[in-house]
Structure 1
Amino acid sequence: MSSLPESADYVVVGAGSAGCALAARLSEDPGVRVVLLEAGGRATNPWLHVPIGYAKTMYHPVLSWNLQTEPEPELEGRRINWPRWRVLGGSSAINGLLYVRGQHEDFDHWRQLGCTGWSAADVLPFFRKAEDQQRGADEWHGTGGPLAVSDLVPRSPLTEAFIAAGQEIGLPRNDDFNGASQEGVGPFQVTARAGWRCSAATAYLRPARGRRNLVVVTGAAAERILLEGRRATGIQFRHGGALRSIRAAREVILCGGAIASPRLMLLSGIGPAAELKEAGIEPAHDLPDVGRNLQDHFQARMVFRCSRPGTLNAQMATLLGRIGIGAQFAFNRTGPLTISAGVAGLFARVLPESASPDTQFHFIPFSADKPGGGLHPFSGFTISTCQLRPESRGNITLRGADPTLPAVIRANYLSAELDRRCTVEGLKLIRRVAETKAMREWIEAEYFPGPDWQGDDGLLAHARRAGTTIFHPTSTCRMGGDPGAVVDPELRVNGIAGLRVADASIMPTVVSGNTNAACIMIGEKAAAMIRASAQARQAA
């Protein structure tokens, strides 16, 4: 782009899951000008479009910010890698592709917390509007939307054995975790079309790229929200080595996610006044909860040696196997290259007091020492447990006033007793699944953590030494109906006119499942609210 616009009606910061949806929907009105700023680049790396490409791109030196938490007190002082991604599409361009919305109870709870208009019934139309469901439309799903949602086919005998094992321990078969109920065991659906990843950029920006009123600026690292008193008027950003600014005639909308959005607000003087002064920033607006209330899903894995060659490890072990995998994808868009980060799942209540599933399990037909790492030299598979509604809370703060410094991330994993109990019980359930008749014929031995790690204390020790994030940070600009909330139910920042936030950071509580689908819904709903607000002002 030879020149950058100096102003727009709406300036959207961050082209992730929510930002792509929001910017594209706002630009459907030809009477408004929309500029979308993204710190990363365009999705030119071919692995961004191949579903299993997340294994190649997760810790990429250019595509990932490669952040880390501070030493985690409950995880033996380990720093946990938080890659977070910088490319058009954001996390949706590199994530595990799973399409999981969360539970109806999640959104009804949001409404109970004062988030008017965010109940399950309120958000369902926006999930349906976004969706192009391969199975067709029904009361829960939509067709014709930008986001492709499809089945993983064919399913391997090993995957079917896992599903049968879940039924063997008493769970219902569930082929739609986004339907009437989430509980049960069954196959995941993915954000893919005809074997290719469907990121938010593919879904929303690609169809909108011919619109003259939508300008997408890549390589634009936002450094500060421009303020005139208590009103946001634009964004200062670095582009091509130069410091630039763009004015927003109507609104600035932050869509940077649970780390970048609160970080930009703090750098702009919006946040806890005492902390801002300590970081060398003059407070512009004292808003204590900015960066607080951080939540993330914590996962612990178990790896099993497989007694048969039906895993990706075995297929990748030989040249002939690798050639076959490539041919499957090249000619049919099927096979291991279309595998998501979980081909089947299980949602269960592992704590007796839980009224709905409190834990999600991912079944993956391959194994490695860490997510994104090289495959083990033996035939193996992985089952992970992930607590859905953690009580532990962390925070995002600044290292100083320099906008090039990464944020300070404290997740505080396993700091709540409930979280420790849930994680241990989840690991126990994995072993119950492994001991079923359906799975025994596939398992040679438990490889990781292995038989030496027994009892509640042993399993908790395993989680402390090896557990990690499943990449779902949320809630650092929480929405609420109370004065202490960062944003109100219209996603307007309390006390600052012309500024909204629309991304995972606004979730009052993390959804019970993968966060990508909910973030896209937030982008869709935010666009509808903003357009309705603009129409109301014009009518007045």
Structure 2
Amino acid sequence: MTSIAARRDGVDGGEFDYVVIGAGSAGCVLANRLSEDPEVSVLLLEAGGSDWNPWLHVPVGYFKTMHNPATDWCYLTDPDDGINGRRLQWPRGKVLGGSSSLNGLLYIRGQREDYDDWAAAGNQGWDYASVLPYFRKSECQERGADDYHGSEGPLKVSDLRLRREIAERFIEAAKAAGIPENRDVNGATQEGVGYFQQTSDRGLRCSTAKAFLRPALKRANLTLVKRAHCRRLVLEGKRVVGAEYEQAGKVYRVRAGREVLLSSGAIGSPQILQCSGIGDPEHLAGVGVDCVHALPGVGQNLQDHLQIRLVFKTRCRTLNDEVRHPLRKLIVGSQYVFTRTGPLTLAASQVCIFTRSREGLSRPDIQFHMQPLSADKPAEGVHPFSAFTSSVCQLRPTSRGSIRITSRDARVYPSIQPNYLSTDEDCRVAVDAVRVARRIAEQVPLAQVITEEYVPGARYQSDAELLDAARQFSQTIYHPAGTCKMGSDPLAVVDDRLRVHGLEGLRVVDASIMPVIVSGNTNAPTIMIAEKAADLIKAHRKASERAA
């Protein structure tokens, strides 16, 4: 077993029971749960550095850490015809905790039907009743435990510590538009309007690095190596036996006595597989990589939530006014330092709505993120006027994109092609969603204070014009998923135990395994996936020992 002292430097030639690649939302959970057993050794490799930056712990710090190469991979999509040829920035955490260290902190699980549909497609054990215990296991719910929530887990889930008039008006306007109020969208039903809960604890971010990894690092059987960029997996025949990584210009190789667990996210995991010769043979040949295991679905099935942003100017004050005035900024900072309250505790959005884009649907198909502020782009400076943002996304888009390496060198970023708004269904939902957003804005509680629809603007009225607005005034909500999908169809990469088809000793554990993206924000489901995977891995080990 490698000692704790090895954490600062590369580990060359060592052997561990489990090698986890990626200390992000899933990897930190795996490292914690697997190292609970003192009889096994775990190596955790992370391409980024420590989460020492104070802005990683202040909830609103995503304004400082997104698009910052010290903490963010700073991915950029290919030009996409579906959004008028634009390229979008795709932030992904390059730091302990991964994207849980710089995301918007929003705690959403998705809908019961999401998981029941996964199981109905043949993925045994992934129905809602089976995954709910894992959501509860990880959660420390501020409101206490009940049938849907846990209070003993390491992940702090709390109510927002900020209320503003414009948010209250938004809720009342949604209710006036016929949307029911829902205080717990992670409970019995998701549909409705209410305040988000967030992964924070007394005004501080609760990333998976803080919740899961930090306590586990006290264990002698867990070794962490930072700034370790995985180059490829090491195979012997059809068994994955280890990984090769680069640190400070030097290449290291480690072995896994039991399994390698790939938890590098919906971009990183398919990239590492492809660089290792696992993927579509024709694609790999085109970039000079020998195919060692044909799996055409690697990097396919990419899904993301595309938000259409509407900005409304108001005559009442919003956070724009509080954070752009020097004196008020000083007050805001003092409020946070001394009381851990105020705008610096703000999650990426305050109010959520889950509703239907049109009549006749069996369940909500769109989600709103309401922010009591506005900017030209997320994580940029606010507008010089009072305004709020009402962004809306399709929960289950039918468009599919891809992640494809362009070089055998793992340091070269892959091609990211989302193919947004590439199906008729997605285009229809986009148009209908904008109309729902406008209907909410027309209700008296908001209409009384709205002075203008600033984005996209009243000139967009017809279906064709609204679709053009959706293509032009949209951004990712940073939810890439599905690129190593779970299932048994020709494009499936892993089975329902997350084992890579046709290989031994390798599982993928992160958002990339989602067959269909969940109906909401993806961080909580990713943590659930890792919780369940840890139990699957432990059960496999026990079964192997009994068989031996």
The answer for the alignment partner of 1:327 in structure 2 is 334
Change (3 A) 1:425 1:484: closer
Instruction: Show the 5 A alignment for 1:181-220.
Output: 181-220=189-228
Deviation at 1:61, TM superposition (A): 2.1
Amino acid at match of 1:32: V
Question: Is 1:113–2:113 an aligned residue pair?
Answer: no
Deviation at 1:521, TM superposition (A): 0.3
Deviation at 1:3, TM superposition (A): 5.7
Q: 2:517, 2:158 → 1: CA distance?
A: 24
Deviation at 1:4, TM superposition (A): 2.3
The answer for the alignment partner of 1:44 in structure 2 is 52
Question: Is 1:269–2:277 an aligned residue pair?
Answer: yes
Q: Does the CA contact (< 8 Å) of 1:27 and 1:34 recur in 2?
A: yes
Q: Does the CA contact (< 8 Å) of 1:116 and 1:481 recur in 2?
A: no
Instruction: Show the 5 A alignment for 1:266-415.
Output: 266-309=274-317, 311-415=318-422
The answer for the alignment partner of 2:5 in structure 1 is none
Deviation at 1:498, TM superposition (A): 0.1
User: Aligned match of 2:518 in 511, 515, 519?
Assistant: 511
Report the secondary structure of 1:370's partner residue.
coil
Deviation at 1:154, TM superposition (A): 4.0
Q: Does the CA contact (< 8 Å) of 2:175 and 2:193 recur in 1?
A: yes
Deviation at 1:388, TM superposition (A): 0.3
Deviation at 1:484, TM superposition (A): 4.6
The 10-residue stretch of structure 1 (510-519 or 201-210) with the greater mean CA deviation from structure 2: 201-210
The number of residue pairs the alignment matches comes to 539
Report the secondary structure of 2:26's partner residue.
helix
Q: 1:536, 1:434 → 2: CA distance?
A: 58
Change (3 A) 1:264 1:308: same
CA deviations 1:146-187 (Å, max 9, x no partner) are 100000034222211111111101111101110010000011
The answer for the alignment partner of 1:88 in structure 2 is 96
Q: 1:415, 1:146 → 2: CA distance?
A: 40
Amino acid at match of 1:158: I
The 10-residue stretch of structure 1 (373-382 or 483-492) with the greater mean CA deviation from structure 2: 483-492
RMSD between aligned residues = 1.1
Unaligned stretches of 5+ residues in structure 2 = 1-7
Deviation at 1:77, TM superposition (A): 1.1
Q: 1:364, 1:484 → 2: CA distance?
A: 38
Amino acid at match of 1:455: S
The answer for the alignment partner of 1:241 in structure 2 is 249
Amino acid at match of 2:416: I
Question: What TM-score results when the alignment is normalised by the length of structure 1?
Answer: 0.98
The answer for the alignment partner of 1:167 in structure 2 is 175
Q: Does the CA contact (< 8 Å) of 2:315 and 2:386 recur in 1?
A: yes
> Stretches of 4+ moved more than 3 A in 1?
481-484
Amino acid at match of 2:514: M
Change (3 A) 1:466 1:215: same
Question: What TM-score results when the alignment is normalised by the length of structure 2?
Answer: 0.97
Q: Does the CA contact (< 8 Å) of 2:497 and 2:536 recur in 1?
A: yes
The answer for the alignment partner of 2:495 in structure 1 is 488
CA deviations 1:248-301 (Å, max 9, x no partner) are 000000000111001100000111111111110111011111111111111110
Q: 2:330, 2:520 → 1: CA distance?
A: 35
CA deviations 1:284-330 (Å, max 9, x no partner) are 01111111111111111011112012x11101232221111111111
Amino acid at match of 2:218: G
Deviation at 1:65, TM superposition (A): 1.3
Amino acid at match of 1:283: C
User: Aligned match of 1:177 in 185, 198, 202?
Assistant: 185
Q: Does the CA contact (< 8 Å) of 1:114 and 1:482 recur in 2?
A: no
